[in-house]
Chain A
Amino acid sequence: MQKWRNTVARNILLVEDNPQDEMLILRALKKSNVANKVDVARDGQQALDYLFCEGEFAGRAGGEMPTVVLLDIGLPRLSGLEVLARLRADARTRLLPVAILTSSDDDRDRLKSYESGANSFVRKPLDFTEFAETVARLGVYWLATNEPPGKAT
């Protein structure tokens, strides 16, 4: 496990437009102490730019993919579901683990997420303590428990 931790970069891309949620998520992830690095994109387009090293992220250092993308649905510019669709349509990100972390409790959103290739769907609990725990568990799961598909060739 230790070995794995050293050899595999444990990066997270958090796509979250709400600054308070962002701060609380980051705090929770930090407390769980599983992520090496958490990058944040604040809208859908920015997330895509980050992942495909385009726009403001062209020539991003390393240009490597995060271990998991925590993707909100309600996002400015491009919605989370659109982002997901684009990721799945691209060979580079086709297998990239994407966990939807959203406030939406709409069944349609959930269904749509899975249809579009989401790997997980997690609702943000309203209660802060619960919220913090959920985010921490999510981080531990995707970074430590889950085996990623591996680098796309």
Chain B
Amino acid sequence: MSLHSFLTRLIWLCVLPLVLLAGWLALADVRDTQSDRDREAANLAKNFATEIDQHLSARIGALNMLAQSPLADEPKRWPDMYREAQGFHGSFGSHVILADPALHMLFNTRAPFGTALPMLPPSKGRAAAPSALETGKPSVGDIVFGPLAKEPLVAIAVPGLRDNKAAFLLLTIFETRRFQDRLDQVALPAAWALTLLDGSGQVIAHRGPPGLDSARDVDASGRFVVKSTASPWSVVLEIPREAYRAPLITAATALAAAILAATLMGVFGGLLASRRLGRALVALTETPAPGAPPPDIGEIATARQLLDEAAKRREIAEATLRESEQRFRRLFHDAPLPLGIVNKDGAHLAINARFQQVFGYSLAEVPTLAEWWRLAYPDPAYRAWVQENWSAAVGNAARSGTEVEPLEYRVRCKDGSERTMLISGINLGEDFLGTFFDVTERRKAEDEIRRLNADLELRVTERTAELQSANLELEDLAYALTHNMRAPLRAIGGFSQVLMEDHARGLGAGAKTCLDQIVAASADMGRLLDGILALLRCTRGELHRARVDISALAQRRLDRLAEAEPERTVARQVAPGLCVMGDAAMLEVAVTHLLDNAWKFTRNRPDALIRVSAGELGGKPAICVSDNGNGFDPAHAERLFQPFQRLHRQDEFAGLGVGLASVRRIIRRHGGTIVARGEPGKGASFCFSLPEEGAESEADTVGRASARQEHAEMEEHRG
């Protein structure tokens, strides 16, 4: 429905009840007017009838008084009665007749008493005298034409009742002219007609517009009849149809005109307002011309403002969208990656320039995914693999809502070359964007790197084996060398002694001193050789890994140490159940060295404490041997593990300096690590951890010749 017809209907809906109400009110008003007028007419008629009745009643009353007078009973007193009747005549202006029941006039005040008088003229219709004789009651007669008066007359007859019988009649006769006079005095609206009728319907008096024909011009509603109470007469008031209707028509016309005018004004005003509102509303649906004044209806102006703002926002949003679309388009087409958009049916919607450039196919050549597959993967077996993979990847992506897992595919280009592509994709709602990342070169490089790595690995393995072998050789050499130096050394020392023992007499004091020094030096060297041998020997031979109960080893060693020096009081705490996988013999050597060390360096402490406990090293479980002995400067921690490096003077703590070096060799041989922590005067703690079971071969390989590890340990220690 258009706004215009809606508003028009609205206006009519508002106006119509008002029009109906106005019409109803107008109708009521017209009816009021009509009933007022009817009442007025009825009153008028009634008043006139009353007036006639009073007129007649007065005369009837007077005649009754005369009739009751005893003067009438005796004819000799009739002259007196005549005089009284003359008085009546004088006061009422109408003559009085006395008549006997036979209707013989006895006297007539119009004629002198005693004048011979005729019979009362018989009247046509209803006459007063016979009626009065008949009923014994006063009676008013119909109109008669007076033979003497020569004019229409009416008579009133009153019977003189004697013994309930009419003994005589008193009549008075007067001209109808008198009623005409009275009627003429009535204030009668123009066009109305007032008529006094006798019992037979003859007109006694009449006034009205000339030419009025009652039967023709007057409706029943316009006729008001009032019966006289004193006579059979009636008063008729007639309002001609024209006159009767005129005021109604006038009032109705005026009201109709007023209602029409009001309706028209209402509708017109409403239409004007609705047109203005309509225009304003219609303007809302249109883009306003620049510089147009704002709508003058406040709410619509607000709406306009809101619409303008929304439009502005929409414009900005559209511009942004357009820009972003353009950007996307440019991004898609100029992207340095081959890109393709496929719809759900597998038809290519777009491929970008790079796609065409890299693969050589145009959109016309690969209109669908199937066509692309056929060209890009000519080998049916490989194609089947690709399709299966791709479908699975796309299915996964759709289910999980993520992008397609990138996977490498070998794509055949139009020029016959093959490129390795990392193909992935993302869902774009209805469509699907496939991205192609060329990894051909990278794949080649990676393959090369892999090959080189494999080579390198092999070379490292070989080199490691060589190194290991060389190292073993060197160790063997060192061992053999050390070993073989013993004999000459024994000879040097031995013969020096032999010299001193067997040939002392031939030697001077100086020579003896020299020989003493040779013996002492060879003894020192012997100890060094022993040390080296011990160091080398501690890790010689196969590594037999087994479960070793360190707690038991430590307890045994500590017991032995305590036995050896019962005079010392050393608190010994060994956590139970400390076990590792390793070579029992070697670990016993290591634990022995560590405990001997702790035993030795707690010598000066009365409250000596040696503890073997579980610890942690680089996140791995470790075993720690701690004491509260002399400790050491952490700066020299690394030197502790160097062979023949000592942090104490020989006269403080005796020793060769191979104990901790041996320990480290053993731990490393196992592929483990050891760290020393300490502070001067506050004790030392040595923690070692061994690799778990299964790391054996590697640890064995690496552990024997790893300089890197040593470095790492030092770093760790510093940290």
Contacts and interface: CB of A to CB of B under 8 A. Distances in A.
Nearest to B484: A103
A126 B488 contact: no
A81 B365 CA distance: 88
Interface in B620-645: none
Given A105-B533, A126-B489, A20 B495 contact: yes
A71 to B, nearest CB: 16
A4 interface: no
A74 to B, nearest CB: 8
A131 interface: yes
Contacts of B254: none
A107 to B, nearest CB: 8
Contacts of A131: 490, 494
A103 B483 contact: yes
A2 interface: no
Among A103, A104, A128, A129: residue with most chain B CB under 10 A:
A128
A129 B483 contact: no
Interface string B519-531: 1000100100110
Interface in B513-545: 519, 523, 526, 529-530, 533, 537, 541
Given A103-B483, A103-B486, A128-B497, A20 B491 contact: yes
Contact of A27 (B498, B519, B533, B541): B498
A131 B530 CA distance: 15
Contact of B483 (A21, A27, A104, A108): A104
Interface in B482-515: 483-484, 486-491, 493-498
A132 B490 CA distance: 11
A106 to B, nearest CB: 8
B537 A128 contact: no
Contacts of A21: 487, 490-491
Contacts of A108: 541
A24 B483 contact: no
Contacts of A124: 486-487, 490
Contacts of B490: 20-21, 24, 124, 126-128, 131
A18 interface: yes
Interface string A119-144: 00000101111011000000000000
A126 B483 contact: no
B487 A18 contact: yes
Contact of A128 (B483, B484, B493, B530): B493
If over half of B's interface residues share one DSSP class (helix, strand or loop), that class is named, otherwise mixed; here it is helix
A32 to B, nearest CB: 15
Contacts of B523: 127
B489 A24 contact: no
A20 B483 contact: no
B612 to A, nearest CB: 27
Nearest to B496: A128
Given A20-B495, A105-B533, A127 B526 contact: yes
Among B489, B497, B519, B541: residue with most chain A CB under 10 A:
B497
Interface in B461-488: 483-484, 486-488
Contact of A20 (B487, B497, B537, B541): B487
Contacts, number: 51
Contact of B530 (A20, A24, A126, A129): A126
A104 B540 CA distance: 14
A92 B92 CA distance: 220
Contacts of B519: 128
A24 B526 contact: no
A111 B496 CA distance: 34
Contacts of B484: 103
Contacts of A127: 490, 493, 523, 526
Contacts of B526: 126-127
Contacts of B497: 128-129
A129 B529 CA distance: 18
Contacts of B537: 105
Contacts of B486: 103, 124, 126
Contacts of B529: 126
Contacts of A27: 498
A126 B529 CA distance: 10
Contacts of A18: 487, 491
A128 B494 contact: yes
A17 to B, nearest CB: 10
A109 to B, nearest CB: 11
Nearest to A128: B494
Contacts of B533: 105
Contacts of A24: 490-491, 494-495, 498
Contacts of B496: 128
Nearest to B537: A105
A124 B497 CA distance: 17
A105 B532 CA distance: 13
B488 A20 contact: yes
A79 to B, nearest CB: 14
A92 to B, nearest CB: 31
Interface string A21-47: 100100100000000000000000000
Nearest to B488: A20
A126 B497 CA distance: 13
A28 to B, nearest CB: 9
B533 to A, nearest CB: 7
A27 B498 CA distance: 9
A129 B522 CA distance: 12
A104 B491 CA distance: 16
Contacts of B493: 126-128
Contact of B487 (A103, A105, A129, A132): A103
A127 B489 CA distance: 9
Contacts of A103: 483-484, 486-487
B489 A105 contact: no
A127 B433 CA distance: 89
Contacts of A128: 490, 493-494, 496-498, 519
A132 B498 CA distance: 10
In the A-B complex, the 9 residue pairs with the smallest Cβ-Cβ separation, listed nearest first, are A20-B491, A128-B494, A126-B526, A24-B494, A128-B493, A128-B497, A18-B487, A103-B486, A126-B486
21 contacts: A18-B491, A20-B487, A20-B488, A24-B494, A27-B498, A103-B486, A103-B487, A105-B483, A105-B533, A124-B486, A126-B526, A126-B529, A127-B490, A127-B493, A127-B523, A127-B526, A128-B493, A128-B496, A128-B498, A128-B519, A131-B490
Given A103-B483, A127-B493, A131-B490, 15 more contacts: A21-B491, A24-B490, A24-B491, A24-B495, A24-B498, A103-B484, A103-B486, A103-B487, A124-B486, A124-B487, A126-B486, A126-B490, A126-B530, A127-B490, A127-B526
